[in-house]
Copies of this chain bind each other. A is one copy, B any other.
Amino acid sequence: MRLLVINPNTSEEFTTAIQNAGDMVKSPETEVVYLNPSRGPRSIECVYDELLSCIPCIEILIDQHLEYDGFIIACYGNHPVITAGREMLIQPVVGIMEASLHLACIVGNTFSIISSGDRAVTMFQDAVRAFGIGSRCASIRSTSTPVLALKGADSSKVEELILAEARKAVLEDGAEVICLGCAGMAGLDKRLKSALKVPVIDGVTAAIKLMEALIGCEIQTSKRRAFSPLEGKEIVNLPKMFTSPYGW
């Protein structure tokens, strides 16, 4: 089984953190490649950032779609490349947010999500509603710090903030499970869990194990309705590669 994990932002240190977390949980039989595009924003914190990162991610999917059994989009949220990837490909495409929420629903009645920055709160609310599991969400809380601070000099201070918000989610909002709302938080789950005494779920590891589950059950993306094969159409003034998903 070969998986490709795409970090849609251009920060290598995030990709490294993702790889460290992923390699810790993957089965010995699973081969995982981790990469990020070479152009685009350093972090993804709004829809504008998401859109800047889409074409570079799509290029990776087009180039490498024959090489892997599954694709993970390692950006916490409902990144539009997840849906586009499902339209383009037959292999499963898993986002790390979805993955963490589905696992959370198995081990608790309610979950809360801790995001880095404030504007992710709205994006995550929309995503949770779009996934159709809004009634399980106790709260979405933010540390009010930029995503990049997670890997900066003050990373331990940021970790304190995450712990503080997670604690409020548990004590005040009724959260039974905490989901870490950023790929850059990969690796924090163990420490937080022992501090909070509730399950803490990192999306990257959740996505890798969920992908192994799907592939282990030989479940691929449905090609009926929402993600049916793309029909051919003319594209104007764009590189020819972008027409190939219409045809394969």
**Chain A residues touching B, range:** 35 or more
A86-123: contact bitstring with B at CB < 8 Å (1 yes, 0 no)?
Answer: 11100010100011001101111110000000110111
Chain A residues engaging chain B, CB cutoff 8 angstroms: 10, 25, 27, 29, 38-43, 45-52, 54-55, 58, 80-81, 83-84, 86-88, 92, 94, 98-99, 102-103, 105-110, 118-119, 121-123, 126, 129-136, 146, 148, 170, 174-177, 189-190, 197-199, 201-202, 205-206, 209-210, 212-214, 216-228, 230-231, 233-238, 242, 245
Contact B133 A236 (CB under 8 A): no
Q: Can you tell how many copies of this chain the complex includes?
A: 6
Contacts of A235 in B (CB 8 A): 40-42, 52
Chain B: which residue is nearest A25 at the CB level?
B216
Task: From known contacts A40-B235, A234-B42, infer whether A107 and B221 are also in contact, taking CB-CB under 8 Å.
Answer: yes
State whether A237 touches B176 (Cβ < 8 A): no
Q: Given A122-B109, A225-B122 in contact, is the A233-B103 Cβ separation under 8 Å?
A: no
Taking a contact as CB atoms closer than 8 A, the residue among B98, B209, B225 that contacts A176 in the complex is: B225
Which residue from chain B places its CB closest to the CB of A246 in the assembled complex? B48
Instruction: Say yes or no: A198 contacts B224, CB within 8 Å.
Output: yes
Q: How far is the CA of A170 from the CA of B224 in the complex (A)?
A: 8
Query: Are B122 and A132 in touch, CB under 8 angstroms?
Result: no
In Å, the complex CA distance between A235 and B175 comes to 31
Q: A47-B83, A51-B58, A126-B130 are in contact. Are A201 and B219 (CB under 8 A)?
A: yes
Check if A94 sits within 8 Å of B80, measured CB to CB. no
Partner of A236, one of B39, B94, B226, B233: B39
Tell me if A214 and B103 are in contact (CB < 8 A).
yes
Instruction: Known A51-B81, A52-B242; judge A176-B231 contact (CB<8 A).
Output: no
Question: Which residues of chain B have C-beta atoms less than 8 A from A105's C-beta?
Answer: 98, 102, 131-132
Question: Can you name the residue of chain B whose Cβ is closest to the Cβ of A57?
Answer: B51
